[in-house]
């Protein structure tokens, strides 16, 4: 999918890329939606790994806005095709209902993580802002501005919840 996006996805293309017989892909994934669900779950894990690498996000003594801005910077600094593919899969849920629960799992997972540092409503707003910032960087092909992102995140986080 990194080469042709979702439009180029087929059991045949997956089998060729994985160098396995076509029957292997159709055995494990009966439909293209099942393939997409598996791909989106894998993409979600990629972002979760970046977040998990920043264990300080859970430490109430750290600057939450700075930590989140750094996470986005690290993720967006990754291989561009992979980051774009993750968002393509995420947004495919608009037209493919089978992907919606997996997209929602990502949002809920990050919200749950952030709820350890702030209230659930603020955590959800932070996820929405992070999502919007990342999407704008990808769509407008502009460089990621970590200082600006940090400032915008700080505007959402109540002062008492920023850092102890």
Phi, psi at 115, each rounded to 5°: -70, -15
Q: What is the pLDDT of residues 83-132, one digit of tens each?
A: 888 888 888 888 899 999 998 988 888 888 888 889 999 999 999 999 99
What is d(CA 17, CA 59) in angstroms, rounded to the nearest whole number?
A: 42
CA distances (Å), origin 24, targets 35, 39, 59, 85, 149:
12, 16, 45, 23, 44
Whether residue 83 lies inside any domain: the answer is yes
Whether residue 22 lies inside any domain: the answer is no
Whether residue 48 lies inside any domain: the answer is yes
Q: What is the pLDDT of residues 141-158, one digit of tens each?
A: 899 999 999 999 999 998
Whether residue 96 lies inside any domain: the answer is yes
Whether residue 156 lies inside any domain: the answer is yes
What is d(CA 128, CA 139) in angstroms, rounded to the nearest whole number?
A: 16
| Cα atoms found within 13 Å of the Cα of residue 147, Cβ hemisphere only | 0
- Split into its structural domains, the chain has a count of 1
Whether residue 27 lies inside any domain: the answer is no
Whole-structure pTM value? 0.82
The domain containing residue 116 runs over which residues? Answer: 32-162
**CATH number (domain holding residue 75):** 1.10.357.10
What is d(CA 155, CA 151) in angstroms, rounded to the nearest whole number?
A: 6
Whether residue 137 lies inside any domain: the answer is yes
Whether residue 11 lies inside any domain: the answer is no
């Amino acid at each position: 999918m990194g080469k042709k996006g979702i439009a180029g996805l087929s059991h045949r293309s997956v089998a060729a890329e994985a160098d396995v017989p076509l029957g292997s892909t159709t055995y494990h994934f009966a439909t293209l939606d099942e393939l997409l669900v598996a791909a989106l779950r894998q993409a979600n894990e990629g972002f979760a790994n970046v977040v998990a690498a920043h264990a300080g996000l859970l430490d109430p003594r750290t600057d939450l806005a700075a930590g989140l801005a750094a996470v986005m910077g690290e993720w967006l600094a990754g291989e561009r095709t992979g980051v774009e593919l993750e968002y393509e899969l995420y947004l495919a849920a608009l037209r493919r209902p089978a992907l919606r629960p997996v997209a929602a799992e990502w949002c809920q997972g990050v919200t749950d993580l952030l709820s350890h540092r702030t209230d659930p409503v603020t955590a959800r707003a932070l996820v929405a802002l992070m999502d919007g910032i990342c999407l704008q960087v990808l769509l407008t092909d502009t460089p990621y501005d970590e200082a600006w992102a940090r400032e915008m995140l700080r505007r959402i986080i109540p002062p008492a919840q920023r850092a102890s």
